[in-house]
Amino acid sequence: MESNRCAGLPHRAALVLARGGSKGIPLKNIKNLAGVPLIGWVLRAALDSGVVDSVWVSTDHDEIERVAKAWGAKVHRRSPEVSNDFSSSLETIQEFIRLRPEVDIVCHIQATSPCLHPHHIREALQMITEDGCDYVFSVVRRHQFRWNEVHGKAGKNPTPLNIDVAHRPRRQDWPGELYENGSFYFSKRKALENGLKQLDKIAYYEMLAEHSVDIDVDIDWPIAEQRVLRFGYFGREEKAAVRLFLCKVSGCLTNGRIYTSVSGEDLVAINARDVAGIQMLQREDIEVILISSVNEPLSRGLLEKVAQQAGCGLRIGEQQGLEVEQLMREKKLRWDEVAFMGSEAEDVEILSQVGLNGVPCDTPVAGLIAAKYTSQKHAGHGAIREFAEYVLMMKKKSTSQVHLDHIDRANF
């Protein structure tokens, strides 16, 4: 960042506006979408773009601030004057740049556009830094015929706005029209200071339909999740092929509860769905090993019984990190070939190094790290099955050809 200033290059700040209030979905900006907080999808794309000097989240809410920082963003606490239902995005951005005199270009990214990719940011920003544009916004091409509204006036017919009804064109013969898709709005500082009233050179950046997912419109969360799972950006580790799946016993495979029988035996319960998830991974040639520390409240005998029931290996060690590193050396694995599901603070170091990491939604570590996947199910109630499906989906993406992940735009 400092080298850019010394070299006379403009400071480029990515800015995501994320107010705590939401009329439709409470705290929508940090609600999990396909295992990731909604805002996490765009923050990951911005951080991995390699062309912005800083990534910011403007918010008025403590929990959004926590999530933003966990995902690597800086936080601007907006004032009450720009935190109400009537505050405009422009007013909020103007407050931000007044307090950040170093910022020359603002890349305003919408938190509700989870299919944003780093290359979108790079290419659009280039239109400002190299092509001399003052303002660049994202659009999508649509093939929709529009009619005027008659407001129920008797005897008045609606009239077409963009077609000749007698010669309705085929889709392949009509280029369609461009619509703002709400993914981003990039602007030079001076244009923002002038309230966007003096824009000498404006340009649009066209995004493909599959990347134009707008949660403000796609309020059906399950449908949006399926779109994101297919077309979202999963980070630099997307191409990693997992060969080993590690999982903590307590807090992941079990819910942390220990039952004692009349005869004094300790008992735990594991979920059949989690066992099925482990078997799914094994069928795809991914080895599964349960790990535990010597401080685990479960006895070694009970841990071995759990591993036997789950049909996978077990490693118990005094120092968990060293035990995992030894395991990787034995199997000649890199970190990006390992997936790990953890649940406690002691797991954070390993979670931060592996190629794919996951946490159950009800564990303490969920608030300590920006996990690639946070399950909807609780520990011991199917969380491992969820994460296993995610790992397999990522494996499929890593082995498939890029062009297979695009839809037929002629029929979209």
Q: Which residues are catalytic?
A: 168
Q: Would you say 187 and 196 are in contact if contact means Cβ atoms under 8 Å apart?
A: yes
Looking up tokens 């990039």 gives: 186
Task: Find all residues with CB under 8 Å of 180, minimum gap 6, and list them.
Answer: 137, 138, 139
Burial 173-197 (b: 16+ CB within 10 A, else e): eeeeeeeebbbbbbbbbebbeeebe
Tokens found for residue 310 = 């789950």
How far is the C-alpha of 66 from the C-alpha of 87, rounded, in Å? 23
Looking up tokens 């594991």 gives: 270
Annotate 222-249 with DSSP letters as a single string: HHHHHHHHHHS---GGGG----EEEEET
Interaxial angle between packed helices 272-283 and 383-399, expressed in degrees from 0 to 180 and rounded to the nearest 10: 20
The 10 Å Cβ neighbour count of residue 118 is 19
State the amino acid at position 116 in one-letter form.
L
Handedness of CA 326, 329, 330, 332 (dihedral sign): positive
Tokens found for residue 43 = 């923050």
Q: Would you say 204 and 178 are in contact if contact means Cβ atoms under 8 Å apart?
A: yes
State the amino acid at position 71 in one-letter form.
W
DSSP state for residue 170 in the 8-state scheme: P
Cα–Cα distances (Å) from 217 to 24, 112, 214, 224, in that order, read: 11, 9, 5, 10
Report strand pairing: 287-293 vs 54-59.
Answer: unpaired
Tokens found for residue 321 = 């990190």
How far is the C-alpha of 405 from the C-alpha of 274, rounded, in Å? 29
Task: Find all residues with CB under 8 Å of 358, minimum gap 6, and list them.
Answer: 35, 339, 340, 341, 371, 372, 373, 374, 375, 383, 386, 387, 390, 391
